[in-house]
Amino acid sequence: MASKDIYFIPEPSKWPIVASLALFSTFIGGAMTLNQSSNGKYVLILGAIGIIYMFAGWFSSVISESLAGNYNKQVDVSFRMGMGWFILSEVMFFAAFFGALFYARVLSVPWLSGEGHGVATHQFLWPAFKASWPMSVMPNSTNYTAYKDTIPAFGVPAVNTLLLLSSGVTVTLAHWALKKGQRTQLCAWLFATVALGALFVYFQAGEYHHAYTELNLKLSSGVYGSTFFMLTGFHGFHVTMGAVMLAVILFRSLKGHFTKNDHFAFEAVAWYWHFVDVVWLGLFIFVYWL
């Protein structure tokens, strides 16, 4: 019987338990650090190293199984479903923060300034507060310092939108090249995608620097600052991870991995990249622009 007829069930593997231990150590280290324990950072670093070790080990065994031809079409479908639903869970994670943004803008800030059923709250707590968005003066203005300005949409963020959108194009061009078997083009377009992603992160970092040092706009600048930095921050983190994943794919392409018909890892990363792209469009419209 050809191995292609058998659904590949991996042999017992140490990676799952290594992964759990590494995450465990990361979480303990993180919690200790937040509790101001001086040893926390060592536990945290240990966990982080564990996670990197786990990813490297787990994925290299998957890659060698794949190169050995163990995976049939059905295994491929399982992987596809896994990645697809994982991306949906990521969408829902962002949804929580978008929900917070909409709630603050549409409901809680207007209520605090006396709209709707917020009349009494307004009168008794902070009668001087006036709703606005971006909200630079907080309801309790003694505990918060106002910021000078927010980041205008049609500056760096617009450039970043262009960067990410064109990286979506380049990754598709890379895919087309791969499907035609043109490896040089594949690597070139992939390289362009990674470069665009890196440039995006670089600009984003510059923007954060500008906000913190010149605008006095911080994570602690009331609910505007909270939603702004958490949304763009988590997104930036995802772009970074996506770019690292793309770089791994580039490296593997250079080594000659992937064939015309069999390149799930490439597609998974491409999907992830498009997801990051779409989230950015939401950010650009709702966080920066409107």
Name which of residues 25 to 44 contact another protein (CB under 8 A).
27-28, 30-31, 34-35
Q: Does 248 bind another protein (CB under 8 A)?
A: no
Q: Does 139 bind another protein (CB under 8 A)?
A: yes
Q: How far is CA 278 from the centre of its chain?
A: 11
Token pair recorded at residue 270? 């491409």
Name the residue nearer to another protein (CB basis): 168 or 222: 222
Q: How far apart are CA 290 and CA 270, in angstroms?
A: 29
Is the distance from CB of 29 to CB of 44 less than 8 angstroms?
yes
Report the candidate in 233, 234, 277, 231 with the shortest Cα–Cα distance to residue 101: 231
Residue from 45, 49, 56, 68 touching another protein (CB under 8 A): that is 68
Name the residue nearer to another protein (CB basis): 107 or 169: 107
Name the residue nearer to another protein (CB basis): 57 or 153: 57
Region for residue 116 given its phi and psi (left: phi exceeds 0; alpha: psi -120 to 50; beta: otherwise): left
Q: Does 19 bind another protein (CB under 8 A)?
A: yes
Q: Does 189 bind another protein (CB under 8 A)?
A: no
Q: Does 231 bind another protein (CB under 8 A)?
A: no
Is the distance from CB of 181 to CB of 193 less than 8 angstroms?
no
Q: Does 10 bind another protein (CB under 8 A)?
A: yes
Which among 151-159, 221-229, 253-261, 276-284 is the span making contact with another protein, rule CB under 8 A?
221-229
Q: How far apart are CA 103 and CA 106, in angstroms?
A: 5
Name the residue nearer to another protein (CB basis): 46 or 188: 46
Name the residue nearer to another protein (CB basis): 158 or 215: 215
Q: Does 156 bind another protein (CB under 8 A)?
A: no
Residues 6+ apart with CB under 8 A from 164: 196, 197, 200, 239, 276, 277, 280
Residues 6+ apart with CB under 8 A from 248: 269
Q: How many residues bind another protein (CB under 8 A)?
A: 78
Is the distance from CB of 280 to CB of 165 less than 8 angstroms?
no
Residues recorded for the chain = 290
Residue from 49, 56, 77, 281 touching another protein (CB under 8 A): that is 77
- Which amino acid, one-letter code, is at 267? E
Q: Exposure of 34 by Cβ count < 10 A (0-12 exposed, 13-18 middle, 19+ buried)?
A: exposed
What residue ranges in the chain does DSSP mark as E strands? none
* Shortest reach from residue 172's CB to another protein, in Å: 26
Name the residue nearer to another protein (CB basis): 82 or 181: 82
Q: Does 162 bind another protein (CB under 8 A)?
A: no
Q: Does 260 bind another protein (CB under 8 A)?
A: no
Query: Which SS3 state, helix, strand or coil, does residue 269 take?
Result: helix
Q: Does 267 bind another protein (CB under 8 A)?
A: no
Name the residue nearer to another protein (CB basis): 112 or 187: 112
Q: Does 174 bind another protein (CB under 8 A)?
A: no
Q: Does 128 bind another protein (CB under 8 A)?
A: no
Q: Does 123 bind another protein (CB under 8 A)?
A: no
Which among 22-30, 43-51, 194-202, 281-289 is the span making contact with another protein, rule CB under 8 A?
22-30
